[in-house]
Amino acid sequence: KLRSPVITTTLRSTSPSPYYAPLPYISSVRIEEKPPTSTTTTKTSHPPPPQSPKAWPPPAPSYASPSVGAKKRVEPRLSTMIFNTFDDIINNFIDPPLRPSVDPKHVLSQNFAPVDELPPTPCEVIQGSLPPCLDGAYIRNGPNPQFLPRGPYHLFDGDGMLHSIRISKGKATLCSRYVKTYKYSIENQMGSPVFPNVFSGFNGLTAAATRGALSAVRILSGEFNPANGIGLANTSLALFGNRLCALGESDLPYSIRLTSKGDIQTLGRIDFDGKLFMSMTAHPKIDDDTGEAFAFRYGPVPPYLTYFHFDANGNKQPDVPIFSMTRPSFLHDFAITKKYAIFADIQIGMNPMDMIIGGGSPVGTDPAKVPRIGIIPRYAKDESEIRWFDVPGFNLIHAINAWDEDDGNAIVLLAPNILSVEHTLERMDLVHALVEKVRIDLRTGLVTRHPISARNLDFAVLNPAYVAKKNKYVYAAVGDPMPKIAGVVKLDVSKGERQECTVGSRMYGPGCFGGEPFFVAKEPQNPEADEDDGYVVSYVHNENTGESRFLVMDAQSPNLDIVAAVKLPRRVPYGFHGLFVRESDLNKL
């Protein structure tokens, strides 16, 4: 079956210094044949023996997918070949990828290039030792297109791939597997892309009309059924109700599990006994005290927002449609307190006129819109008690945390405010995320806010035990620029205005970039433990050498000292959000 693209790179020197290898950029891609993969447990393979030392300077790192053995090609159906021909005409003549934000050569360059699946493979601990509290698995989700995009491709359009490092008794095993979504499975069988790219395939009226018509014909011919899901499950993971889910906000969750040897299996798309419809946010909030999960979905037709939650056993409770949101908005994340759920109606939303007139994306910005925050009781049965507060210039993509104050008569929200929000989808390198503390007095309606740090910070996390409760510490990724992460900082959000809140920092070094950090507590069951008594973990990639590592950092040290470093058997591409799952929880799946 056809699978991953093999990417040819062209070397461009970005530094005159002889100590840095020139960085590769994609110049051409071809698709090779590949035997089918399996989600069953496989025998552990071992990394190849070390090669003899090479002459200096070292060769440039390769960002091509590994070569794979060939298998007899499965000939596509005649109808599929005809549809693919029309698809090529659209992509080459009607809507070619002219903008860098949707040009695969740009979007999939360097460590954004896709990789093949990797069965469980032992890793080498090259510094320090892995703490016992890390027994379990750190799993990170992210986009990894199964095939070379035929036309425009946005970073958000890739198939979900999970990169898991399974840790047991000081030893680590890496495994990378696709989430076997309906989309992935159909295209794997067809041997080519079939589903349209949501974020990049409908820019402009002509492109939307032609690709929409082609998709309709594919559906009518039986190539795929959108009722079975069109999502990618490429954004994040969540553990609730004894289920581990891979999430993407355009579809239902996909249940996954890890085998005892570290392999990743997709169990299937879940609708919670038919009670969950259409889609769910990729950022549900889990209350560590109660075990409940709170979530929502949003869409282009009323109700534009629907709120719901799951009890501690994973049983979905009834929907609460929010009709007071009067126009579609881009609702990627939200926050909860012990009493409320908090939503942000921001300046990014559905913008069909910009698509029709200006040839832009159907998702765009409205600079005339005044952002607002909606607050609804956490266990509301309907929207009758929701209240909206105008917060001019506050555009929330990711929320960090929120809590109640003044006996529940006020709420405090921590979140990065996206400045220059118009660049969010097109030029992420121009986006600056300013972490702010917003306080809303529910009696007077007074909204006050102040910045926590002036740095470009996003993908911020906290000790999971403090979700919905007042926390002191936040661990945030440093954009340099986004979406590349140059380091991680620790913030003390209890400090007042105009005080320096950065109390810890680690930058990864020249040419080294990581991802979202994640905090793991040393003693999660100890109520007397300090909030920051634990470790910060992340994947980090060295673009100079092509090597990826898993870093474990001491959360309490001012320099976030490295406690352990694990050399990974192959590179891990940059991605989105991750989750640490303890061994005891893995055994319940």
Binding site, residues? 283, 332, 398, 577
- Going by the annotation, the residues of the binding site for Fe cation are 283, 332, 398, 577
- Strand residues in 259-313 grouped as ranges (E): 264-269, 285-286, 293-298, 305-310
Distances 302 to 204, 283, 322, 335 between C-alpha atoms, Å: 24, 21, 9, 22
CA gap 410, 394 in Å, rounded: 18
Q: Which residues of 109-137 are buried (b: 16+ CB within 10 A; e: fewer)?
A: bbbbbbbbbbbbbebebeeeebbebbbbb
Distances 270 to 68, 181, 182, 231, 579 between C-alpha atoms, Å: 33, 11, 12, 13, 20
CA gap 23, 17 in Å, rounded: 12
Task: Give the closest residue to 584 by CA, choosing from 190, 133, 252, 225.
Answer: 133
Q: Are 582 and 130 in contact (CB under 8 A)?
A: no
Greatest alpha-carbon span in the chain: 71
Task: Give the closest residue to 421 by CA, choosing from 435, 436, 432.
Answer: 432
Tokens standing for residue 458:
């996003």
Residue 77, Ramachandran bin (φ over 0: left; ψ between -120 and 50: alpha; else beta): beta
Q: Are 348 and 362 in contact (CB under 8 A)?
A: no
Phi, psi dihedrals of residue 548, rounded to the nearest 5°: -110, 145
CA gap 532, 554 in Å, rounded: 9
Residue 462, Ramachandran bin (φ over 0: left; ψ between -120 and 50: alpha; else beta): beta
State in Å, rounded, how far the first CA of the chain is from the last one: 31
Strand partners, 255: 245, 268
Find tokens 């909204």 and name the residue: 447
